[in-house]
Amino acid sequence: MLKRMAGLESYLLCLEIVCVREIGAEVIVEQFGAQSVIVTDIDPEQIIIA
């Protein structure tokens, strides 16, 4: 559903707000063709894990 809503085939930069599962950035790159992904989380440990 998100892929249909996205509109573009690839993106220069994407933002992941919460990196709970440690795979979000990987999925964003694979599914949306992001060249760069910025990840952030309220818990610094989650950023380290991701």
CB atoms within 10 A of CB 43: 11
Predicted pLDDT at 21: 67
pLDDT by residue (tens digit) across 1-48?
A: 566 667 777 788 888 887 666 678 888 888 888 999 888 888 877 767
Q: How many domains does the chain have?
A: 1
Q: Provide the domain limits for residue 18.
A: 2-49
CB 40 within 8 A of CB 17: yes
Predicted pLDDT at 1: 57
Predicted pLDDT at 40: 82
**Which H or E run contains 38?**
strand 34-39
